[in-house]
Chains A and B, each alone.
Chain A
């Protein structure tokens, strides 16, 4: 701990909450419309919209290092592009 009792954020030292998951969300990149609904509701902020193909919309990409496997993204997806797999 630093002088003055300040704790600084350091992600590399943080606990990896990905090992909580008993099921993992999988994104069907063909169905995903890139609306970002899942990203906003994800409690862990672990869904990012990234470009995976040229001249296509950005699609959801999940960071399994921190995903706790709650299944909220599957439930809120308007086109059912996310499914939870064991």
Chain B
């Protein structure tokens, strides 16, 4: 076992074979040498790392309920402020929250919004696997248009999810926080760099990290890095950061690949390649192009 990488999250946890979530956690927590306290929303990470009576966490870890991971972090931050004031501790530990897209886009959104608005000093990391993967792949606000999910199944009359995904980056940016970034587990150096910047930011910061799910995006266990790379290379998931409202794109793809390259790697989009669903693919492509243009305009 790698002693350096497993300093904060050990092996022996029960994430699926080929899941990228632990790599995200290690990259983020490895970006600081200071003590950290982790708060976690209910989700894949929580259920797999804390199977009673074991824990894979070597750092203080709090899980309360699904929707309030950000509120928990706010509480930890406020408690530390009180302890510093009364002289019981000298320096505050960093507070890091991990939440899935269900616990961030949907259920935890108001707790996140509240904590951001109050300006607590914490980093919120959302690992986005685009659905409620822990409970069998129901649709969430992050599921892309056209994906086949348990609660938006593709069939004779339906082509899967009929709505576009939520633009969480813009929602978080509207709170006017100092640093937020969109990253991808397949570009782990980019993720590390952003985690370091985010942890050094005073006040709230936010990272949105794509996490390809081998089980319910339906691809072989060895492919999470390859699928993640394609998401960025097709401009489906551009990497960018926003510092003091200033946008920077971190990887400009010179000739973006067609979206089919990304879609065809996954079983959840398999139905789109039949004749009757052809226009769904062209709609996804035009949406990707539109979002990319919008993002480029924001960078000026």
Which residues of A come within 8 Å of B, CB atoms?
1, 7-11, 13-17, 20, 39-48, 63, 65-66, 68-72, 74-76, 84
Contacts and interface: CB of A to CB of B under 8 A. Distances in A.
Given A40-B188, A70-B221, A72-B225, 12 more contacts: A7-B52, A9-B10, A14-B11, A43-B19, A43-B22, A45-B1, A45-B6, A45-B9, A45-B11, A45-B26, A46-B2, A76-B225
B145 interface: no
A67 to B, nearest CB: 9
A9 B13 CA distance: 11
B87 interface: no
A70 B18 contact: yes
A45 B221 contact: no
Interface stretch (B55-63, B153-161, B172-180, B241-249): B55-63
Given A70-B18, A72-B222, A40 B23 contact: yes
Chain B contact residues, majority secondary structure: loop
A15 B223 contact: no
Q: Residue among B5, B17, B27, B223 with the most chain A CB within 10 A? A: B17
B22 A75 contact: no
A71 B188 contact: no
Contacts of A14: 10-12, 54, 56
A57 B20 CA distance: 27
Interface residues of B, number: 39
14 contacts: A7-B52, A13-B54, A15-B12, A40-B188, A43-B15, A43-B17, A48-B1, A63-B11, A68-B18, A69-B17, A70-B214, A70-B222, A72-B221, A75-B226
B220 interface: yes
B26 to A, nearest CB: 6
A43 to B, nearest CB: 5
Nearest to B6: A45
Nearest to B185: A41
A50 to B, nearest CB: 10
A10 B53 CA distance: 10
Nearest to A50: B2
